[in-house]
Structure 1
Amino acid sequence: MSSDASASSDETIDPGSDTGTPPGEGGRSGQVVEGVDETAAELARSGQERGTLRDVADSLGISSAVALRALRGAEEIKPLMASKVRETAERLHFPLEELSDEADHRGVVAVLVNTMRNTWISDLVRAIRIELAATGRSAVVVPTRRRIPEYPVAADTDAIESLVDLGVDGFLMISDLADMDTVLEATAGRPFVGIGCSKSFIGRFDTVRIDDEVGQGLLVDHLVGLGHREIAHIGGVGAEVARERSEAFRAAMERHGLGESARIEPGDFTEQVGQTAGSMLLRGSKVPTAVTCANDVTAVGLLSAAREAGISVPEELAVAGYGNTSLASSGVSQLTSVDPNSSRLGALAAQFLVERVSGLETPARDVAVAPSIVVRRSSSAGPRPESTKRKRISVD
């Protein structure tokens, strides 16, 4: 069980910049107002009544740490900046009533995860920590996956019950956990919010999801725009989210009239399975020219399979991941990936939980956060002309 500290350790303050004059000041204050208005409009479109600390900071072009210190009245923040931040917070309906003093510690929130290996989780946890810090709360990240002979994958409900006994305020779940009925029973009615989870949980508790229909659509649109028609997907196994993501891929292919050529190779979210599934896709006479994957880890496995098969990326095979993690941006992989807007996901989920802890009683809420696509080298080329493709040897 690992403990996370406050947001200030992640975001340092530059006394010569963010703590001084707000962006656009000095005859150009309209730039700041425009940013706030755009954020307010975006919140309204998504049906959100309240902005997060991240929304306040992004609207002004400052860090969340500076925004928090300004709202707390820190001495190093100039009055003009403090006033602008508070005005923005009020404009975006940020819950100022939940704001705590820096030394005020109100409680702990448990973040439940299936694995610690996925770097996407660290992106989410960072956003969660920053938002919770504004309310004087901290977070503990708890792996809840255990293996026992009777059940290949099961949730560690003993750990969850121990957290309840320790008095945690509530739970944030990243992705889908196994045995959800048992998990919810183990939480003993504590507030519970799902992040990046399946649509199947809508209505059971608050959910903040990635809009996978948009995400897979962005990938397929990008690849089709490069001329690819034989596009495959690795995923659909291991969690309901994987199945939904593969269905979104197929729907995007059908939208382009390519439903018959859409191939889904079963795979989960692990590198090993991604490599195995990739090897299956790349053998035989009918090899796709592009492949999308359930996440970045799977895509890295596919890159390994391509390298072993002697297939160059992107010249002979375009590859795309999902999550825009550090794996995707590394100089080795340079992987095109869908950016799920982890900062938004984590901040919004944390706010939802704090509201529940504070006594909010409304029907379960659901928000699908729109992702974007980050194009890198792995999908920077269209399919080769038939005359230049190397011949494949069929493997029976």
Structure 2
Amino acid sequence: MDQRPRLDDVAARVGVSTASVSLVLRGAPGPSAETRRRVLEAAAELGYRADRTASLLARRRRHLLGVMLDIRSQFHAELVEEIQAEADRVGYEIVLSTLTRHRDEDRAVETLLDFRCEALLLIGPDAADDRLAALAAQVPVVAIGRRVAAGDVDVVRSADQVGVSEALDHLIGLGHRHIALVDGGRGVVAAARRRGYRDGMRRAGLADEIRIVPGDHTEEGGIRAGRRLAAASDRPTAVVASNDRCAVGLMDAFLRGGLDVPGQISVVGYDDSTLARLAHIDLTTINQDPAAQASHAVLAAVQRLDEGRKQRLEIVLNPRLVVRGSTAAVS
């Protein structure tokens, strides 16, 4: 049995991750001077020697993480900023491939593969589980923001049903019963939030009040839904939007239709994007902790690449409600 000291033995001695030890031993940027000193001392004390074969293979590595994002989503942009910071910390670079009106997921992923990215971090992918599983058989894949039930895909996501439940609990606590949801469309993330809305309304004894209005994850989708709701004779007193962009569109339609937010109708978004924090928007919304999602996603990829982890990983983070000025007690 091979009793030679391993990378994780050095990491355990110092009390840092194996990724940090790997960075120090290959002279990559990231760890502090103190961490470097302690790692090198521990390696010497333990008699650790890097595997020459592994070192030769490592020299051929590109240390590139491919990230797919929707260029139209402010939340995706914030998440990428956090991913870049975390990748810098562990000595990796990122390559971005965008989704647009004219560029779908297949093309975005193919671009990342063409760049020979060692792992893919896909933000909110809508591809079927079996498609993602097939991709993960070629290269490590981390799906950020959605559940994946098949294959060897690592998952880092927010508990969407918990987030929608927090939004409903907040509105119900303000006396609202006629609460509608503006749907996010056909995507997997939108489906999870739709499911959370239905479940939350039923738990609150408001099954008869369930009302789902067609929409999507854009301002235009929110505007269309807002016009429809503003013109309805049975207008709800509160609306949960599937994301912040949709919520901003709703508020725009309500303002143009002469409805006061939150005096006549309350609005809750989802994402807590920088847009939601602007003073003239002041949107009550659900924060998904993009920094934590980014950290876990990069770590999941690095564990696959640097540490040889084989088992599938799923990290589920609890979102939190951020109350601002777009919600008030029912009048």
Once the two structures are superposed, the pairs formed by residues 227-238 of structure 1 within 5 Å of their partners are: 227-238=175-186
Q: Does 2:164 align with 1:245? A: no
Once the two structures are superposed, the pairs formed by residues 196-235 of structure 1 within 5 Å of their partners are: 196-197=145-146, 199-201=147-149, 203-235=151-183
Equivalent pair of 1:161/1:187 in contact (CA under 8 Å):
no
1:108 pairs, out of 36, 55, 64, with 64
Counterpart of 1:131 in structure 2: which amino acid?
E
Q: 1:190–1:203: structure 2 CA closer, same or farther, 3 Å change rule?
A: closer
1:164: how far off? 2.5
1:355: how far off? 0.7
Equivalent pair of 1:196/1:210 in contact (CA under 8 Å):
yes
1:205: how far off? 0.4
CA distance in structure 2 between the aligned counterparts of 1:236 and 1:201, rounded to whole angstroms: 21
CA distance in structure 2 between the aligned counterparts of 1:109 and 1:212, rounded to whole angstroms: 26
Equivalent pair of 1:230/1:290 in contact (CA under 8 Å):
yes
Counterpart of 1:240 in structure 2: which amino acid?
V
Aligned Cα root-mean-square deviation (Å): 2.9
1:204: how far off? 4.2
Q: 1:276–1:204: structure 2 CA closer, same or farther, 3 Å change rule?
A: farther
Task: Name whichever of 222-231 and 200-209 sits farther off.
Answer: 200-209
Q: Does 2:244 align with 1:296? A: yes
Once the two structures are superposed, the pairs formed by residues 1-396 of structure 1 within 5 Å of their partners are: 71-73=31-33, 107-113=63-69, 115-145=70-100, 147=102, 154-157=104-107, 159-178=108-127, 189-197=138-146, 199-201=147-149, 203-379=151-327, 381-384=328-331
1:178: how far off? 4.0
Equivalent pair of 2:72/2:100 in contact (CA under 8 Å):
no
CA deviation vs aligned residue, 1:312-344 (integer Å, no higher than 9, x gap): 000000001000001100111100000011111
Equivalent pair of 1:160/1:186 in contact (CA under 8 Å):
no
CA deviation vs aligned residue, 1:37-77 (integer Å, no higher than 9, x gap): xxxxxxxxxxxxx9899xxxxxxxxxxxxxx97x4217xxx
Q: Percent identity?
A: 32
CA distance in structure 2 between the aligned counterparts of 1:339 and 1:51, rounded to whole angstroms: 28
1:361: how far off? 3.7
Equivalent pair of 2:165/2:196 in contact (CA under 8 Å):
yes
Task: Name whichever of 135-144 and 339-348 sits farther off.
Answer: 135-144
Counterpart of 2:281 in structure 1: which amino acid?
S
CA distance in structure 1 between the aligned counterparts of 2:272 and 2:130, rounded to whole angstroms: 31
CA deviation vs aligned residue, 1:139-159 (integer Å, no higher than 9, x gap): 122114564xxxxx84243x5
Counterpart of 1:282 in structure 2: which amino acid?
A
Helix, strand or coil for the counterpart of 1:228? coil
Equivalent pair of 1:203/1:366 in contact (CA under 8 Å):
no
CA deviation vs aligned residue, 1:261-308 (integer Å, no higher than 9, x gap): 021112110110111012112222111000001000000010011012
CA distance in structure 1 between the aligned counterparts of 2:316 and 2:212, rounded to whole angstroms: 24
Equivalent pair of 2:286/2:320 in contact (CA under 8 Å):
yes
Helix, strand or coil for the counterpart of 1:237? coil
CA deviation vs aligned residue, 1:130-186 (integer Å, no higher than 9, x gap): 221222101122114564xxxxx84243x5334334321110000023466556656
Q: 1:361–1:186: structure 2 CA closer, same or farther, 3 Å change rule?
A: closer
Equivalent pair of 2:133/2:151 in contact (CA under 8 Å):
no
CA distance in structure 2 between the aligned counterparts of 1:361 and 1:355, rounded to whole angstroms: 6
Q: Unpaired segments of 5 or more residues in structure 1?
A: 1-49, 54-67, 75-81, 87-96, 98-103, 148-152, 385-396
1:206: how far off? 0.4
CA distance in structure 2 between the aligned counterparts of 1:343 and 1:118, rounded to whole angstroms: 16
